[in-house]
């Protein structure tokens, strides 16, 4: 019995099938690579946007702390006590406001003695100068102990500042019922300034000693921690603030 020869066209049909399968697989791999690249880029953009929000929130917290020290509201006007909220303007009150920004040197000693009684050495955002680890925000147990109502200060807690409808969403997460890792916190370290430091020759310029006209003789170090909307985002800012009295 004689076999019929297989035509070349039939052989080519089998090869074409393999070529089509390889092309489909390559197309699928390219599509998968493209989608993963898009997701990765979206993740980077999202993390960067969340960091920027947290950074801006930390800056707002720093400014709010400066208003708190100067006794001003968020618009720069003198702070007027709010009858419905005794914390605003830090009106001296043994129960609501046991600590406040000192106005005279004699008040500084009383304030430092009150702060020294606290375990964290902080009461409602006012703290003794830290003598332990300065970067306490990197130590989770220490930071957790600091982010507690009555220890740290929230945005607008003592100035009456409030976030509007178009404001940073992180600043809105500062209500008493919110988690400690939401929104932001700030702490103000009270650092008595020695008026004779300029006479020591350590703080001088070419002609005369540098004199700070302080009343009271206190410098402040502000630390602000802002948490982003993502759990992994955290921004820490720190600055030194000196409230000088303008000479007449």
60 has pLDDT over 90? yes
Q: How far is residue 56 from each of residues 52, 67, 238, measured CA to CA in Å?
A: 6, 17, 14
Half-sphere exposure of 11 toward its Cβ, with a 13 Å CA cutoff?
A: 4
131 has pLDDT over 60? yes
- pLDDT tens digit sequence for 178-231: 788 889 999 999 988 765 655 554 444 444 555 566 778 888 999 999 999 888
Q: How far is residue 27 from each of residues 14, 16, 20, 41, 238, measured CA to CA in Å?
A: 20, 16, 11, 21, 52
Cβ neighbour number for residue 236 with a 10 Å cutoff: 15
| Minimum mean pLDDT range among 21-30, 66-75, 195-204 | 195-204
Better-predicted residue by pLDDT, 167 or 126: 126
Q: What is the mean pLDDT of the chain?
A: 81
Predicted local confidence at residue 201, as pLDDT: 47
For residues 61 and 53, the answer to whether their CB atoms sit within 8 Å is no
Predicted local confidence at residue 205, as pLDDT: 45
- 91-111: b (≥16 Cβ within 10 Å) or e: eeeeeebbbbbbeeeeebeeb
pTM here is 0.76
Predicted local confidence at residue 8, as pLDDT: 55
Predicted local confidence at residue 18, as pLDDT: 74
Better-predicted residue by pLDDT, 125 or 24: 125
d(CA 206, CA 196): 18
Mean pLDDT of 105-120: 90
Predicted local confidence at residue 56, as pLDDT: 94
Mean pLDDT of 72-93: 81
Predicted local confidence at residue 247, as pLDDT: 58
- pLDDT tens digit sequence for 225-240: 999 988 889 999 999 9
Mean pLDDT of 137-141: 93
Mean pLDDT of 124-143: 92
Helix (H) or strand (E) holding 23: helix 8-70
Q: How far is residue 74 from each of residues 61, 62, 154, 172, measured CA to CA in Å?
A: 11, 12, 13, 15
For residues 176 and 211, the answer to whether their CB atoms sit within 8 Å is no
Reduced to 3 states (helix: H, G, I; strand: E, B; else coil), residue 204 is strand
6 has pLDDT over 60? no
Mean pLDDT of 126-145: 92
pLDDT band at 78 (very low <50, low <70, confident <90, very high): confident
| Minimum mean pLDDT range among 149-153, 172-176, 210-214 | 210-214
């Amino acid at each position: 019995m004689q076999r019929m020869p297989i035509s070349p066209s039939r052989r080519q049909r089998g090869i074409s099938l393999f070529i089509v399968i390889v092309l489909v697989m390559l197309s699928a791999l390219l599509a998968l690579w493209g989608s993963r690249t898009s997701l990765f880029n979206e993740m980077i953009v999202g993390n960067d946007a969340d960091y920027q929000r947290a950074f801006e929130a930390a800056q707002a917290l720093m400014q709010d702390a400066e208003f708190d020290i100067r006794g001003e509201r968020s618009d720069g006007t003198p702070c007027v006590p709010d009858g419905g909220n005794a914390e605003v303007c830090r009106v001296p009150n043994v129960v609501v406001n046991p600590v406040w920004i000192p106005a005279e040197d004699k008040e500084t000693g009383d304030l430092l003695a009150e702060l020294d009684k606290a375990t964290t050495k902080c009461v409602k955002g006012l703290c003794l100068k830290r003598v332990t680890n300065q970067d306490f925000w990197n130590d989770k147990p220490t930071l957790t102990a600091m982010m507690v109502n009555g220890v740290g200060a929230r945005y607008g807690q003592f100035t009456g500042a409030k976030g509007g409808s178009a404001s940073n969403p992180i600043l809105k997460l500062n209500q008493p019922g919110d988690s400690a890792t939401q929104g932001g916190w700030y702490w103000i370290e009270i650092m008595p300034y020695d008026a004779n430091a300029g006479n020591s020759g350590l703080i001088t310029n070419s002609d005369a000693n540098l004199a700070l006209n302080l009343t009271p003789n206190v410098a402040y170090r502000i630390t602000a921690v802002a948490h982003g909307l993502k759990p992994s985002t955290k921004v820490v800012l720190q600055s030194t603030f000196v409230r000088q009295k303008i000479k007449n």
